[in-house]
Amino acid sequence: MAIRILHIFGAMNPGGAEKRTLDVMRNISANDFHFDFCTLLSKQPGLLEPEIQGLGGNVYPCNLFNWKFPKQFCELLVQGKYDIVHSHVQLFSGYLLRLAHKMGIPGRIAHLRSMSDGKLSTPRRIIQRWLMKHWIRTYATHIVAVGQYTMSAAWNPNWQSDPKCQVIYNAVDTKPLNVPCDRAGIRQEFGFADDSIIITHVGNFLPPKNHLRMLQIFRELQTILPQARLLMVGNHHTPIGEQVRAWIAEHHIQNLVCLSGIRHDIGRILRSSDVMLFPSKWEGISGVLLEAFAVGLPIVASNIPCNQEIQQYNSRMQVIGLQEKNMVWANALAQWTKVGPSSDTEMFQQSPFTIEKNIAAMQQLWLHAAHRTS
């Protein structure tokens, strides 16, 4: 009988954690593991829901801000007869796992995917974090993080002494990335000249990604590499997106920067780019950086510790301090454009970020959480 797992997210739209979970879902046997999803914030069906349903899963919206939420969530747990609740909503998982414990769910997993929640440390927020950590400590059977620094920063620097804690590195499924390079087609599609050097970033327009800093770096790059163009992939219908569009208009670079929106051909875009720019303020283990790593695209990224965890396996990745001047970043980008992408995948295959290694660790986690193994 398949182990029944309820995954919990804010919404099932294309984001790093959501895409990584679907990568796993595509590559495991539905006879062994059945995935359903509970969404807490979305009022509309998520863009990933049709694929989830096609893979045999269900998506259950459960409005967190409805006063009936605890009752509805507990009813879902009973009706679904779940063996495991696997929560991906950072420290708020504590509240959900408390409810799961109340309903007798044997496996209760808190999955930490970022080093920070990005919120100001107000007195109320400090108390809330303390309470949520207390509930995770009390009610989680397993605490998982996507990287060692993520675990240390988001949970406890001494996590290795806690038997509940485990690092399972994020991974990417490389099969969707195995597409031909299409440099001419990409440049034509986005209105760039055939000889353009494309600097690419992939990520929704949210505070951690540091989009305005990307524009400042790119403007310096233009002074030394006039044929450079900036391609920003991701959902830009956000407050950050509005700021980005205003900055582009103010500096009259509309013909140099393209905001593509959400794309489903990331492999084609990465293989047709020259360098990835990734000056994030905080992350977990970025799936986008792993995708760029997998296709051999050079990366210039911030030197936050979770990015350094990836760099130790990827010699085609350079990390730079966020305190460095924009021209330092621009010079690094210009140097990597001279190197260009590589077709050698051996370095990635030897890293801990392959889907095969991730799935093997996840399966052991779920078997243990469901008490199907010793």
Q: Do the beta carbons of residue 324 and residue 303 sit within 8 Å? A: no
Distance CA 119, CA 132 (A): 15
User: How many CB atoms sit inside 10 A of residue 41's CB?
Assistant: 13
* pLDDT given at position 16: 84
Helix ranges, 140-191 (H): 148-154, 183-189
What is the DSSP track for 22-47?
A: HHHHHTS-TTTEEEEEEESS-SS--T
Pull the structure tokens for residue 288.
Answer: 């986008």
Distance CA 145, CA 93 (A): 13
User: How many CB atoms sit inside 10 A of residue 1's CB?
Assistant: 8
What is the DSSP track for 263-327?
A: -S-HHHHHHT-SEEEE--SS-SS-HHHHHHHHHT--EEEE--HHHHHHHTT-TTEEEE-TTS-HH
Q: Is 213 exposed, middle or buried (0-12, 13-18, 19+ CB in 10 A)?
A: middle
Q: In whole angstroms, what separates CA 248 from the centre of its chain?
A: 26
Positions in the chain short of pLDDT 70: 373-374
Distances (CA, A) of 373 to 97, 324, 326, 359, 367: 22, 50, 52, 16, 6
Which stretches does DSSP call E strand in 207-250? Answer: 228-233
Distance CA 149, CA 161 (A): 15
* pLDDT given at position 167: 97
* pLDDT given at position 373: 59
Distance CA 220, CA 115 (A): 30
User: How many CB atoms sit inside 10 A of residue 162's CB?
Assistant: 13
* pLDDT given at position 117: 81
Q: Is 66 exposed, middle or buried (0-12, 13-18, 19+ CB in 10 A)?
A: exposed
* pLDDT given at position 15: 84
Name the strand (E) or helix (H) holding 87.
strand 84-87
Closest to 333 in 3D by CA, of 139, 197, 241, 136: 197
Distances (CA, A) of 207 to 64, 118, 241, 262: 23, 8, 10, 17
Distance CA 148, CA 155 (A): 10
Domains of the chain: residue spans and CATH: 3-170+354-369 (3.40.50.2000), 175-349 (3.40.50.2000)
Distance CA 297, CA 276 (A): 7
* pLDDT given at position 119: 82
Helices (runs of H) and strands (runs of E) counted in the chain: 15, 13
* Longest alpha-carbon distance in the chain: 63
Would you state the torsion angle of the CA atoms of residues 326, 328, 332, 337, taken in this order, to the nearest 10 degrees? 50
* pLDDT given at position 374: 45
Opening angle at CA 153, ends 152 and 159, nearest 5: 20
Distances (CA, A) of 152 to 112, 145, 327: 10, 9, 32
User: How many CB atoms sit inside 10 A of residue 137's CB?
Assistant: 15
* pLDDT given at position 364: 96
